[in-house]
Structure 1
Amino acid sequence: MDSTKMQIDSPAAEGHIDEGLYSRQLYVLGHEAMKRMSQSDVLIVGLKGLGVEIAKNICLAGVKSISLYDPTPAAIADLSAQFFLREEDVGKRRDEASAPRLAELNTYTPVSVAPDNVLTDLSQLSRYKAVVLTDYPLSKQLRINAYCHENKISFVSVCTHGLFGSIFCDFGEEFAVVDPTGENPVSGILAGIDETGLVTALDESRHGLEDGDYVTFSEVEGMDDLNGAEFKVEVKGPYTFSIGDVASYGTYVRGGQFTQVKKPKIINFKSLADQISQPEFVYSDYAKFERPMQLHVGFQALHKFQEAHGSWPRPMNKEDAAEVYKTATEIAETYGDLKPELDEKLINELSFQASGNLSPMCALFGGMAAQEVLKSVSCKFGPIVQYLYFDSLESLPSSVERTEEACKPLNTRYDGQIAVFGKEFQDKIANMKQFLVGAGAIGCEMLKNWAAMGLGSGPNGKINVTDMDTIEKSNLNRQFLFRPKDVGKLKSECAANAVQHMNPDLEGKINTMRDRVGQDTENVFNEDFWQGLDAVTNALDNVDARTYVDRRCVFFQKPLLESGTLGTKGNTQVVLPRVTESYSSSQDPPEVSFPMCTLRSFPNRIEHTIAWSRDLFETYFVQSVENVNLYLSQPNFTDSTLKQSGNQKQILQTIKDYLVTYKPITFEECISWARKEFEEQFNNNIQQLLFTFPKDSLTSSGTPFWSGPKRAPSPLTFDAFNPEHMQFIKAAANLHAFNYGIKGTNIDDSTYKRVLDNMIIPEFVPSSSVKIQASDNEPDPNASEGTGFSDQAELNNLADSLPHPSTLAGYRLTAVEFEKDDDTNFHMDFITAASNLRALNYGIPTADKHKTKGIAGKIIPAIATTTSLVTGLVCLELYKLIDGKNKIEDYKNGFVNLALPFMAFSEPIPSAKGKYMGKNGEVVLDKLWDRFQYDSDITLKEFLDDMEEKGLEVTMLSSGVSLLYASFFPKKKREDRYHLK
């Protein structure tokens, strides 16, 4: 067929990256990796559930083009995992039916169907940067891989069989990984370098380096030739490292910083033919250390069976399993010293599930394989070298009997799942009542998996999904159920509609809500709601919401499946009533914060200046405006509100500036205000700081004041031809104009130039009366200007100089509401410019708008591949919940980092237990899950008697703030007071 059929032209300009669409992904991959991806064509062979999952993730990531090849007619059983096929597509070519729906995901990535001879005329593969084979015969894999290996085409082969999966990667010889880990280079301030080359970090800060890392130095005094030179590191301790002999560099005096240098890693991949006989494994589960080699042999035996019979072994068929096991034992004999001890039950299970097709496994391996493809074309992150095997046999049900009759195909969309679990378990899945909290990235993937599984589709089944957010453009890169036409619509409704089209059995089975789950909505998510659930799944992006849902699950004794992602990292957690600890039982480390005096006067990192500029944004355009509006709306503002504030004088002065002194009428006056603030922040304040602490200042101990983390600043002289200076002026003027409702559109550069040329900036004279906090150990001199401000007369004069609110009836300013993703609102322009100007004051390397947005907006890096993998792991645990497993060893918490790559599992932590001596001996209680519950009303005396019978003494009983009973009253008074006779 014509290779151009269904081609959709890319509207992207060569090398252009749409930061609005890819913003969260850019914080993971970076611009260079994204550019390499945007120049790479990818071929994907096989469009069942696994193939379409890989194609979906690669398409969202944004490669140059994707070609699909799978001429096989779609079968009804494909719908067990192939979410882009519909029942009306049965009988059509899988690639032709899937291509249009995949093409909708990303207008920057054209999707086409490859020509029919793409795998027979291998020369056609030369146009691709990467080739992906899914569920493809091994003998044909060998032929295609040989061509790819010789022609430096990246090759990935991946397959799943029920709860088993395998992936193989070959990126050719001398493959260079530009950034093996994806972590930001570590850096730090020096405390010293001795004559032996031992480097000590300042204030015993952990340096974060490892043996073999490389570092460069800058701003080191006394060892000038050291600056810019590169050294290999030998770690001596958490705070020290050695760089070897430095005798020729002179003697260290003071100052300096070190920065880690990222070095490319060269990997020599071997061909599939070589790796089959001598495999290298990445271990996915260290509790199954002996299993990869067994599965390596078992998968080869499966392929031999498929080639001999033209089909995979039949579900739960013992004859087919015996043949697979016999073949596996013969293959194992060829491995000599590598020969594995085969577990017959394991190989039999592999045969029993060979024709099974599970959406969670496709999500897991589809996320992993797609990331490997992206690694191969971007050279970012460490690849799988070269095999990875995985199984989740723990997910097999024990509550139903799996027989050949129970697992036979029924000509339904769930046949791929029935082949593994049986029809009876499929009915259990269909009748689950599930609550999904959140319909964003994880929520979309979860709903897609549930739709393919048929979760909640039965007569007693139900899915409740809630999300208060609406869809934004940046969501489209990883929340694949949404399309550009959905921007602005409610996430929960769009997601539900999308998966109901995927599986019509869910029509009328999804209850969509737009309420935040919290204390203010307990009338919506009431007791009846929670009691009607079988399980809860979180798909949230903040700790507070997770903690609240967790508490409700503990209160109502409901199992909770928790997960989260951060770039290439992800985790899953199972919370099981009366068995495991809850999400809230452990806490994440607190968010990093910076000392106030560092932000105010002594920044030494770009993160410090970004935090300062973000605060300046709030001060100028939010807090000051809100104070003005409070003054205008509250008659007693100066009497009551100010007495509770930390700085009465500053607030009054701000109100006067905004309502009198610098109140603008025209946009030109907003430009003047911006120029005045430039001078104040980047010149005058720096001059004052240097007046208070001159560059030659010494501390009380005789050491230079400007040393270590304190960098001596320099004032900036305004230059209208400097783009950074003008960016501050333009952004500040437009935001100030917005506060006052002044139109600032279509103001050309000539207007700015005219206003700036006509301004007279008075010379600044530093004052000896200004006090500056030298460290956080000293009291803040500004704090004295609180409620105990000494000069009440000055305060009264300031208050009297303000216009009375009655003279400005109805007048209000408009506060700015920070929005980081709108490139036209000047918010990030201002913060970036202010941060970089302050960085220039202190000699700190500046940051572009993209990096500044990530830090100032606290953006969580996110990619579709990690989300796909994590939801696959969650759904494997969901199978266990549906089965009713209640032993802690049945479940697994997962931890992944696709960048390394790394995958590990641990048994959930059991809930804490306590004990007490009852009347009949020691009683063990679960401190988290146990409670004394009464199903009917009882009197206080009956309750106290029951507690006494249990061996417990009640000393106090309360409800909220009301004391209902106290044991400290004398007995007679207790009996009379509480009617206990």
Structure 2
Amino acid sequence: MSFEEKIDTNLYSRQIGTFGFDMMGKLQKLNVLIIGMKSTGIEIAKNLALMGVESIKIFDNDVVQSRDLGVNYFVRASSVGKESIASACLHNLKDLNRNVDIKVINNVNEELVVGNDVVVCCDQNVEVLKNLNRICRANSLGKRIGFIACDTFGMIGSVFVDFGDNFISFDPTGTELKTGIIESITNDKEGLVTLITDGVIDFQTGDYVRFTEIEGMTELNNKEPVQIKVNSKNSFLIGDLSHYTPHTSGGLVTEVRYPKRIEFRSYEDCVLNPSTTGCLYTIDYSLVNRAEQLHWITMGYKHGSGDPKSTLTNAQMMNSNAKSCGVESVDEELFKSFLSQVNFKVPPLASFIGGIVAHEVIKFTGKYHPINQWLYVDFSLPKEMLSGDFSGRGFDERYFDQVSLWGSDLQNKLQNSKIFIVGAGALGCEFLKNFALLGCGSQQEGLLTITDNDRIEVSNISRQFLFRTRHVGLSKSSVACESALEINPSIKVKPLEIRVGEETEDIFDEHFWSSLNVVVNALDNIQARQYVDGRCVWYEKPLVESGTLGTLGNVQVVVPHMTQSYSESQDPPETSIPLCTLKHFPYQVEHTIEWARDVFEGLFTQIPLDIKKIRQNDEVNSSNIDVGVTEIPYERLELISKLLNCTPKNAKEQLLRISSELYNLHFVNNIQQLLNSFPKDHVLSDGQKFWSPPKRPPTPLTFDLSDKIVQLFILSTTKIFASMMNLDLDVVESDILSLRGLPLPEFQPRVLKLSQDKLNVEVQSDTSADSNPLLNEITNSNRTLNAVEFEKDDESNYHIEFIWSASVLRCRNYAIKECNKMKAKLISGKIIPAIATTTAMIGGLVTIEFLKALCYRSLKISHFRNAFACLATPIWLQSEPLPPIPTKDKDYDPVTCGPVRALPPNFTVWNKLIVLIPNGTVKQLIDWIRSKFNIEVIILSAGNLCIYNSFLPQHRNERLNAVITELVERLGKKKIGVRCSHLVIDASCTDSDDVDVVIPTIKFQFR
């Protein structure tokens, strides 16, 4: 059995989508030792357990204290004063993933260290760090062991990485190799390669590439990789090509990625010489030299006795002796801030650092680029948020650290806050965990509401850490809340299984939204994000938005009247594959997978719907055949007839025959038809070759039953058809091999027409055959077929086997590089790559911005931070959010094709016009707008209802005196909710010069 077959692809599918099988195999052989389990340590262990390393050994002999309950979510109150931290969290840690061997150790020595691949030290003293680092670098076995150290001091943290003198990163970026289709190559001294822009991934100067399939300039094919210099977005230079044969057509270019050698230095060497580049990594460019300052302050503290005077003296002395990264003087204000936080641990920083460190551990496999070598962060909260009593008196002792850090006022806000988490997936679990540790919603006025209408699946378990295998099939939000209550029994949580959207506004009504303090999104689609964003803008509630994609993550904070909304700064829409590319001219494996998905829908989902349509047409109108029915091709009706004529007795034989005929249709006859109409030497009327890039001329396949992929296609097709008939057929290889010699329909040429744009091909249907007998047969049959909905995560249903085998066969038709089954599953199932480490890191950043959002009225925009992160390379960037976009006058607006005025000037999405008119009429609202802005109202609309149009005499005569609420109820055919006090109304207006005027949305308060 190969290592790919040993990996649980259902459990780790999203992770494999990020790492690939090769790294997963290495990851599952990784043995890790974690020293220090108070806060960051448990986060690192959790992430590594979820990802499925081979073993984790944990060491922390400190006895559990009450304050540990506020940072370690796997220790319980029953362990306080009785057990070591490591022992107390072992059971819950092991429960995350029973495939991982997790043990508690009672002491650390060289023999123990060398039994591991990576050693992680959390919050350890400097002598322990230096000693363990020496063992990792030089031990009795001569084994290279990765070493990582991390510290958290309140909201300040650091990470140190040392993977030895000669570490090789085989894939520093972890991204897919860039590819492109060549349009032209010049014969110049500086040869210019121009790519077809469709589907191109941007190359960068310094990249190495290899060429294949070039016609004419064949000297470049499979030549040693060459380094490129980018000329434009879709072209690059590759050196002297003046002596090469002229390029005539085609060619592919593929990036070649070389391993990177990285030389790490020991912890001891990096104390006074922290960077060979002269500076440390900065995540926030508004904090110049912050990392360097933190290095000397941290080193001063760790090398001193802990008292302020000696710490400052040490920091100043070490800075003076610095071999690199020295600063002019140690910042004493920052020093004071550091000392005020040094003894405290809080959840958001543990989450952030824990995600980063766990990901650094898995980089020891050779994938991605490790941190080089220090990372410092300072997320200290603004002084405006720090107030009240800092002693911790009056609070549960579990909150001691956070109250000591930021004071009683913020803690009271946290415990009395009403928070809405939208989504209980991976991010939702992280947010709920952090909020539970912080005590959010634990007092009388507080409440944590979380909604998610999904059920737990096996694939969720590897990153949505509040769920276990025993929870599969249960409600995400309910189980998440139950798990959060185990972390902190005092919080008040309300799980809902309701989708947030227009259809549930009677539940998530104005009373609900108005009661909230902060909204936190944990959604996975743009449409839902935009809806929640719109609600937050309307009700003026702060929103913390975030997302992850593999090793990438981002955070956006949306603050009323201060920042842009999410919808003002959204990502560009996803690109789609043109239909002609999908059906006839694929050139990437993604095209073949989407084609297979389309065939799946046509065969297994649409055929039962076609049967229903035919029979409904007969019931409604037996004399006239509906147009939709006549559009069903004759060949499809034949297939439906064959399926309906299958009986349990002959089903296996018949379905195997049908599956073989479908193979012959898709991979033989249809390809022959395309080549018959457009031979490989076909030339268009303008002299261009028809089969020029990106088109790839196909080749028909043979019906080779010895081929395992051909067998899989026939097997999966047969099994899915059988499931449509509620049959469980036992199909073995000998059944498939018995099809040898089966007579298959021969190719019958048809006419293919090329559209005027020369991109689309239309198949002329067979109109000679009479469909009526088949339609009558289908109508009169008493058999039915069940529609099959594509399900990617059920290994027994053969859906992915069908998609993969069909994709591979089509790749062979078009000479496209094939993919493995997992990639076919990821693409066809639209699976978003996801891993625990990114989720934990983003969870920490979101929690930090959430704390600020609770206090936004006393803060400035400069206090907030949006963030982007890539754990692979690695990159962290924080920046101040952008202000909301003002609506301005325009001399020319492309929508109205004329000038537009904005009233009031520079209003934003956060502004609204509040109009209070109990039982107000249309005329009263129009008069209010006229008197406010001296403009005329042309149209009034409430949602998708037009309640007044001045161009319509009927509206002027009948609606001006109508009560607006009654008019909306009549037009919308729905009563306004009893808890609703306002309507949202938009007005289209003009001024006295007939210039269009835009005004803010109106909040029409009718009670």
User: TM-score, normalised to structure 2's length?
Assistant: 0.88
After superposing the two structures, state which structure 1 stretch, 649-658 or 731-740, moved more: 649-658
Q: Distance in 2 between matches of 1:360 and 1:136?
A: 20
Asked if the contact 1:731–1:827 (Cα under 8 Å) also holds between the matched residues in 2, the reply is yes
Residue 781 of structure 1 corresponds to 762
Change (3 A) 1:576 1:641: farther
- Work out the CA distance in 1 between the residues paired with 2:32 and 2:930: 72
Preserved contact between residue 161 and residue 350 of structure 1 (Cα < 8 Å): yes
Tell me the residue number matched to 2:67: 77
Map of 1:596-675 to 2, 5 A cutoff?
596-635=579-618, 645=628, 648-651=630-633, 653-659=635-641, 663-665=645-647, 666-675=651-660
Q: 1:637 to 1:690 in 2, by over 3 A?
A: farther
Contact 1:447–1:499 under 8 Å retained in 2: yes
Distance across 1 between alignment mates of 2:959 and 2:150: 77
Which residue of the other structure, out of 52, 60, 66, is the alignment partner of 2:50?
60
Indicate the residue corresponding to 2:300 in structure 1: 301
Distance 1:141 1:614, change over 3 A: same
1:442 aligns with 2:434: no
Structure 2 residue 259 is matched with structure 1 residue 264: yes
State the 1:77 CA deviation. Answer: 1.1
Given residue 569 of structure 1, which amino acid in structure 2 is its aligned partner? L
- Report the Cα offset of residue 520 of structure 1: 1.7
SS for the counterpart of 1:346 is: helix
Q: Retained in 2: the 8 A contact 1:567–1:862?
A: yes
Residue aligning to 1:243: 238
> How far apart in 2 are the matches of 1:567 and 1:188?
23
Measure, in 1, the Cα distance between the counterparts of 2:370 and 2:7. 24
Q: Which amino acid aligns with 1:690?
A: L
Residues 3 and 25 in structure 2, CA contact (< 8 A), matched pair in contact too: no
Q: Following TM superposition, by how much is the alpha carbon of 1:743 offset from its aligned partner in structure 2, in angstroms?
A: 2.9
Q: For 1:392, which of 376, 379, 393 is the aligned residue?
A: 379
15 and 979 in structure 1: CA distance in 2 versus 1, 3 angstrom threshold: closer
Contact 2:272 2:323 in 1 (8 A): no
| Offset at residue 35 of structure 1 (A) | 1.2
Q: Partner amino acid for 2:512?
A: F
Partner secondary structure for residue 48 of structure 2: helix
User: Once structures 1 and 2 are overlaid, which stretch shifts more, 76-85 or 936-945?
Assistant: 936-945
Of the three residues 766, 781, 785, the one matched with 2:749 is 766
Deviation, 1:872, is 0.6
Deviation for aligned residue 1:50: 0.7
Residue number among 848, 861, 867 corresponding to 1:888 in the alignment? 861
Matched position secondary structure for 1:757: coil
Q: Structure 1 residue 39: deviation in Å?
A: 1.4
CA distance in 2, matches of 1:662, 1:408: 76
Q: How does 1:443-842 map to 2 (within 5 A)?
A: 443-506=428-491, 509-635=492-618, 645=628, 648-651=630-633, 653-659=635-641, 663-665=645-647, 666-744=651-729, 746-754=730-738, 756-757=739-740, 759-767=742-750, 770-773=751-754, 777=758, 781-782=762-763, 797-803=770-776, 807-808=780-781, 811-842=783-814
Using the TM superposition, give the Cα deviation of residue 627 of structure 1 relative to its aligned residue in structure 2, in angstroms. Answer: 1.0
- In structure 2, the CA distance between the partners of 1:110 and 1:761, relative to structure 1 (3 Å rule), is same
- SS at 1:950's partner residue? helix
Deviates more, 1:722-731 or 1:589-598: 589-598
- CA shift in 2, pair 1:551/1:410, >3 Å: closer
Alpha-carbon deviation of 1:135? 0.5
Q: Which residue of 2 aligns with 1:315?
A: none
Residues 638 and 373 of structure 1: is their aligned pair in 2 closer, same or farther, counting only changes over 3 Å? farther
1:313 corresponds in structure 2 to: none
Residue by residue, what CA displacement relative to the aligned partner does 1:15-50 show, whole Å, maximum 9, x if unpaired? Answer: 932111111001111111111111121000000111
2:884 maps to which of 911, 915, 919: 911
Contact kept? 1:579, 1:886, Cα under 8 Å: no
3-state SS in 2 of match to 1:21? coil
The answer to whether the Cα contact below 8 Å between 2:273 and 2:324 also exists between their aligned partners in 1 is: no
How much does 1:217 deviate?
1.4
Question: In 1, distance between residues paired with 2:623 and 2:502?
Answer: 31
Deviation (angstroms), 1:683: 0.8
Contact 1:430-1:458 within 8 A present in 2 as well: yes
Alpha-carbon offset, residue 278 of structure 1? 1.2
Partner of 2:966: none
What letter corresponds to residue 239 of structure 1 in structure 2?
A: N
Report the CA distance shift for 1:805/1:354 in structure 2 as closer, same or farther (over 3 A). same
Give the Å deviation of 1:471.
0.7
Tell me the CA shift for residue 439 of structure 1: 0.5
CA contact (8 A) 1:630 1:637 kept: no
* Change in CA separation of 1:471 and 1:336 when aligned onto 2, cut-off 3 Å: closer
Q: Secondary structure at 1:364's aligned position in 2?
A: helix
Does the aligned pair in 2 maintain the 1:201–1:207 contact within 8 Å?
no
Letter of the structure 2 residue corresponding to residue 293 of structure 1: E
SS at match of 1:128: coil
CA contact (8 A) 1:325 1:348 kept: no
Question: d(CA) in 2 for partners of 1:823 and 1:517?
Answer: 31
Structure 1 residue identity aligned to 2:340: F
1:132–1:644 CA distance, 2 compared to 1 (3 A): farther
For the residue of structure 1 that corresponds to 2:204, the secondary structure is coil
Q: CA RMSD in A?
A: 2.9
Give the structure 2 partner of residue 328 of structure 1: 315
CA drift of 1:930 comes to: 1.4
Counterpart Cα distance in 2 of 1:737 and 1:871: 45
Inter-partner Cα distance in structure 1 for 2:520 and 2:26: 37
| Alpha-carbon distance between aligned partners in 2 of 1:74 and 1:432, rounded to the nearest angstrom | 29
Change (3 A) 1:399 1:861: closer
Q: 1:100 to 1:960 in 2, by over 3 A?
A: closer
Residue 53 to residue 12, structure 1, CA distance change in 2 (3 Å): farther
Secondary structure (helix, strand or coil) at the match of 1:236 reads strand
Q: Secondary structure at the match of 1:683?
A: helix
**Cα distance in 1, alignment partners of residues 235 and 538 from structure 2:** 49
- CA offset at residue 558 of structure 1? 1.6
Q: Distance in 2 between matches of 1:872 and 1:698?
A: 60
Contact (CA 8 Å) 1:324, 1:351: kept in 2 or not?
no
- Aligned-partner Cα distance in 1 for 2:944–2:101: 63
Equivalent residue letter for 1:366: G
Question: C-alpha displacement at 1:240, in angstroms?
Answer: 2.0
1:952 Cα deviation from its structure 2 partner:
4.0
Deviation at 1:698, TM superposition (A): 2.0
Give, in whole Å, the separation in 2 of the partners of 1:642 and 1:45. 76
Q: Displacement of 1:207 after TM fit?
A: 5.5
Compute the TM-score of the two structures, normalised by the length of structure 1: 0.90
Corresponding position of 1:174: 166
| Partner Cα distance (1:843, 1:283) in 2 | 47
Per-residue CA deviations over 1:742-777 (Å, capped at 9, x if unaligned) read 331x222222333x136212432424xx11437854
Distance 1:353 1:976 in 2: 65
Choose which of 350, 365, 368 in structure 1 pairs with 2:356.
368
Bigger drift between 296-305 and 466-475 goes to: 296-305
Q: Which secondary structure does the structure 1 equivalent of 2:776 belong to? A: coil
2:184 equivalent to 1:198: no
- The one-character-per-residue Cα deviations of 1:137-167 (angstroms, maximum 9, x if unpaired) are 1122112112212352111000111110000
Which residue is 1:282 aligned to? Answer: 281
The structure-2 alpha-carbon separation of the partners of 1:934 and 1:400, relative to structure 1 and needing over 3 Å to count, comes to farther
2:831 corresponding residue in structure 1: 859
Aligned match for 1:93, one of 77, 84, 87: 84
Which one of the candidate residues 374, 384, 387 is aligned to 1:401? 387
For 1:100 and 1:13, the matched residues in 2 are separated by 28
Residues 443 and 144 (structure 1 numbering): CA distance in 2 closer, same or farther, change over 3 Å? same
User: Within 2, Cα distance between the matches of 1:301 and 1:63?
Assistant: 35
Residue-pair matches, total? 933
8 Å contact from structure 2 (residues 191, 242) kept in 1? no
Note the residue ranges of structure 2 that are not aligned, 5 or more in a row. Answer: 891-901, 964-1007
Question: Structure 2 vs 1, CA of residues 703 and 968 (structure 1 numbering), >3 Å: closer, same or farther?
Answer: closer
Counterpart among 828, 836, 846 of residue 874 in structure 1:
846
- Distance of 1:687 and 1:914 partners within structure 2: 58
- The answer on whether the counterparts of 1:954 and 1:967 sit within 8 Å (CA) in structure 2 is no
Contact 2:18-2:834 within 8 A present in 1 as well: yes
Q: CA deviation at 1:246?
A: 4.5
Match of 1:317 in 2: none
Asked if residue 219 in structure 1 is aligned to residue 213 in structure 2, the reply is yes
Does the CA-based 8 Å contact 1:148-1:155 persist in structure 2? yes
